[in-house]
Amino acid sequence: MSARILIIDDEEALRKLLSRIIGLEGFVVKEAASLDAALTILHRNEIDVVLCDVKLPDGSGVAFVKELKKRFPQAECILLTAYGNISDGVLAIKNGAFDYITKGNDNDRIIPLLHQAADRVAENRKAAVGIKDLSNKGFDAIIGKGPQVTMALSLARKIAPTDVNVLLLGETGTGKEVFAGAIHSGSKRADKPFIAINCSAFSRDLLEGELFGHKAGAYTGAVKDKKGIIQLADKGTLFLDEIGEMDAGLQAKLLRVLENGEFIRLGDEKPTRVDVRFIAATNRNLEKEIAEGHFREDLFYRLNGFSISLPPLRDRTEDIAALAGYFLQRYAQKEQQPVKQLHPDTLHLLKQNKWKGNIRELKNVMERAAILTDGNEILPSHLPYEIQVANTDQSNNLSLAGVEKKHISKVLQYTGGNKTRTAELLGIGLTTLYRKMEEYQLVIPK
C-alpha cells in the first residue's frame, strides 16, 4: 500500500508543485493550506508523513509538530522553511520532527526523506502489532535473582495456568512484554496465538481498525473483510501494551469484549464471538487516571483480575551483570563474533547508572559498546558519555570533555557521518549531537 502524505503550505503554487512531484513517486497525496485544515484531514484520514511549512497563517509548524506527535503518534513530520534557523531546527527535532530542511537548498532531499519517514512508520506499525514467536521464551528465559523479580516471577508462575486477566505494572523498558509472553507460554493456551499490540503507536481510528477489523465496503478502500487482532487471538492471548493510552471510546468497545466475549466489526451488523485471555500493561497510575476521568473504572477492574508490578532496573542492580552478559552474548551470536567481556570498572559504572530506560536501555548500551570496542573487553570508554561521568568529580571536567569529544568522533567515523545513526548509538538526541559537534568543532568524516 502506498504511503499517504499530507502537504501543509499556504503557498498554493508551491503546494501544487510538491503534490505533483510527490504523487509521481507513487505516494498518495493530500493538501492543506492551514494547520486547522490539516487537523481536519488528519482526523478523517490515515496519514503516514506530514510535509509542513514552518510559517503558516494560523500558527507555527515547529509548535504543530508537538501537537501532531501527541494526537497522531504514528505519523512522521518533515518541516520545510524558507530561511534556515538553527534554533528552530533544534526545537523542531526536540518536538519530534523527522527532519527540518530548507526550501530550495534541500529540494533533492525531499523525496528520499519521504521514503525514509514512510519506512519508519511502516516499521513502527509492524513492530507495534503482530503474532510473536515465543520459542524458548518461557519463565526460564527471564533473567533475575533479586527479591522483587523473584516475587514477580513467583506470582506470574502461579497465575499463568489460570484464565484470569493480568495487569502488568512498571516503568517503560522493565520487561512487561517478556513477562506477558512467559505467562502465555505457561498457560493452557500456549499452543494458540500470542498477539501483542502497543496501543500508544496508533491513532484512535487506526487502533480501532487493528483491534476489531472491518467488513468489505465499511469505508472507501475496504475492498475485503479484515480480521482484527482480537479475532486473530481467539483461543489464545492478547497483550495490550500501554493500555493507559487508549481512547475512551475504544475503552468502551473493549469492555464489551471482556464482559460478553463479543464485538462488532466496522461495517458489520452481527457480533463476532471470541475466547481471548487479556494481559494488559501500563507505565501509568491507572487509579489516578480513573480519578481524572481518563480511564474507565469498570474496564480497569475487568483487566485487573491479577496485577504484577515489575521493578525498575535501578532497584535490581544485582541483576545487571547477568543481563549485560546476556545482551553481549546475543549480539555476538547475531554478528558471529566472540563474546565481549565486561571490565570490572565498566560493571561498576553500569551499577551506578539510574537507567531511566531500564532493561531496554541497558540492551542498547551493550550493543553500542560491542560495536565500539576493537578488543574483547568492554571498557568504561565504550559506554555513553553520560554513564562515564555520572559519578565523576566536577574537577575532572576538562579531561572528561576530551573523552567525550574522542568518543563522539569515533562513533561518527563508524557511521560514516550519519548523524541520526550516531545519535542513536551514543544514546543522545539529535539536537544534542548537533550542539556537541559545534562545541567540539567536529567535522563529518569523508
Cβ(308)–Cβ(168) below 8 Å: yes
Cβ(45)–Cβ(27) below 8 Å: no
Which residues, 6 or more positions from 128, have their beta carbon under 8 angstroms from its beta carbon? 197, 198, 201, 202
Tell how many helices (H) and how many strands (E) occur in the chain.
19, 19
Q: What is the chain's alpha carbon radius of gyration, rounded to the nearest angstrom?
A: 24
Q: Tally Cβ neighbours within 10 Å of residue 441.
A: 7
Cβ(250)–Cβ(208) below 8 Å: yes
- Look at the domain 314-440 and name its fold: Helicase, Ruva Protein; domain 3 (1.10.8)
- Look at the domain 4-125 and name its fold: Rossmann fold (3.40.50)
Cβ(165)–Cβ(305) below 8 Å: yes
CATH 1.10.8.60 in the chain, residue ranges: 314-440
CATH 3.40.50.300 in the chain, residue ranges: 132-311
Type of residue found at 229 = I
- Which option is the CATH number for 132-311: 3.90.25.10, 2.40.50.140, 3.60.110.10, 3.40.50.300? 3.40.50.300
CATH 3.40.50.2300 in the chain, residue ranges: 4-125
Cβ(415)–Cβ(425) below 8 Å: yes
What is the three-class DSSP state of 148?
helix
Which uninterrupted H or E stretch holds 323? helix 320-335
Q: What is the pLDDT along the chain (446 residues), one digit of tens a residue?
A: 578 999 999 999 889 999 998 998 889 999 999 999 999 999 888 899 999 999 999 999 999 998 898 888 888 999 988 766 666 777 888 888 888 887 765 567 788 889 888 888 887 776 666 555 554 568 988 999 889 999 999 999 999 999 999 999 999 999 999 999 999 999 999 999 999 999 987 778 778 888 998 888 776 666 678 889 999 999 999 999 999 999 888 999 999 999 999 998 888 888 999 999 999 999 999 999 999 999 999 999 999 999 999 999 999 999 999 999 999 999 898 888 899 999 999 999 999 999 988 999 999 899 989 988 888 999 998 888 778 876 554 434 445 566 677 778 878 887 778 887 787 777 777 777 877 888 888 876 65
DSSP lists the bridge partners of residue 101 as 80
